Amino acid sequence: MRIFQHVQDIGDLRVALAEAQDVKRDRFRWQHLGKNKTALLIFFNNSLRTRLSTQKAAMNLGMNVIVLDVNQGAWKLETERGVIMDGDKSEHLLEAIPVMASYCDIIGVRSFARFESREDDYEERILNQFIRYSGRPVFFMESATVHPLQAFADLITIEEHKTVARPKVVLSWAPHPKALPQAVPNSFAEWMLAADVDFVVTHPEGYELDPQFVGTARVEYDQMRAFEGADFVYAKNWSCPGVTRPDAYGTVLDDYHTMMQWTVSARQMAVTHDARFMHCLPVRRNMIVTDDVIEGQRSLVIPEAANREISAQVVLKRMLESL
Ligand code: AN0
Ligand code: CP
């Protein structure tokens, strides 16, 4: 595997899920694969889980790991070609990428949507430059539009906890005070459509996800109706994707105070099929989900986060195998 961006990059999902269980049974079995190989993890944005779980996964495989927080200690990077660099940016991405690539074998990049232009974000301007100019396998650690390591970990978690062959999985928008990216819901939708689940998305009008990710998924604007009979509830906030409201791309459409009925609470969970609660974390309590639901017996947020180590290890293992 040379690129990990979309669900198709991992191939057959049943094979990938079986491999995830192999990794979980004995995560140190492939130490020989990573010997004298270096993973470089580049962060343009904050992270707790992605940073730690990916580092751990690389160490499980016997790799060396270098982590770079671009905004803390590195030179500020210009990303646009043709700019007269007389501002605060001392280095261009076009030099930085091949230089960084010369010190490693595999590169992971986190670079969130900037919300300056929908085209730039949805064309993946930053990650595509890493793919083009690094000459190394590149995996996405949350880009402008996708978070595949999260979606893979979510699928592993659903597979481990499902009690019916084809569970009903509901992705629900929930309120948040700041504009958040669409990467997590985009990837979750893409992976759920590829998996064997009954997938429903619920959100207020204006938050329609890009068709390239949400495809033919059922959209239900009535959250309570969407939750009926659900086996898994996946809560997440996202800002306006600019599909039905191009003018509002990357914004919070309504004052969150007026949207608090969307906060996932015992009221909605009561109409589900005793659903398990999921969220990628970090989560704002009593905005996205109430204390009792996230702390409750049916919450999966901690095993879900633990599975980030597993999804990252399967991806790194596949990349090492194809070096
Ligand atoms: C990010 C997001 O919503 O994309 C990262 C989630 C994994 N969340 C925040 O910025 C709070
Ligand atoms: N879920 C997730 O990617 O968390 P971090 O932003 O902390 O890495």
Atom of ligand 2 nearest to the CA of 147: 3
Atom of ligand 1 nearest to the CA of 182: 4
How many angstroms separate the first and last alpha carbons of the chain?
Answer: 8
Q: List the strands of the sheet with 106-110, edge to edge.
A: 3-4, 138-140, 106-110, 38-43, 64-69
pLDDT at site 257: 96
pLDDT at site 73: 87
* Calpha distance 220→35 (Å, rounded): 49
- 150-304 folds as Rossmann fold (3.40.50)
pLDDT at site 288: 98
* Calpha distance 128→148 (Å, rounded): 16
Around ligand 2, the residues with Cβ closer than 6 Å are 47-50, 142, 150, 280-282
pLDDT at site 248: 98
Per-residue pLDDT of the chain (323 residues; tens, 9 = 90+): 999 999 999 999 999 999 999 999 999 999 999 999 999 999 999 999 999 999 999 999 999 999 999 999 899 999 999 999 999 999 999 999 999 999 999 999 999 999 999 999 999 999 999 999 999 999 999 999 999 999 999 999 999 999 999 999 999 999 999 999 999 999 999 999 999 999 999 999 999 999 999 999 999 999 999 999 999 999 999 999 999 999 999 999 999 999 999 999 999 999 999 999 999 999 999 999 999 999 999 999 999 999 999 999 999 999 999 99
**Most informative mutation of 256, 280, 308 for ligand 1 (most atoms within 8 A of CB):** 280
The CATH number of 3-146+308-322 is 3.40.50.1370
* Calpha distance 263→173 (Å, rounded): 9
> What pTM was estimated for this model as a whole?
0.98
* Calpha distance 303→53 (Å, rounded): 12
- A 10 A CB-CB count for 145 gives 24
Residue ranges matching CATH 3.40.50.1370 in the chain: 3-146+308-322, 150-304
Considering only CA atoms, which of 273, 295, 183 is closest in space to residue 226? Answer: 273
Residues 6+ apart with CB under 8 A from 16: 10, 152, 314
Place of tokens 């261009």: 92
Structural element, H or E, at residue 57: helix 49-60
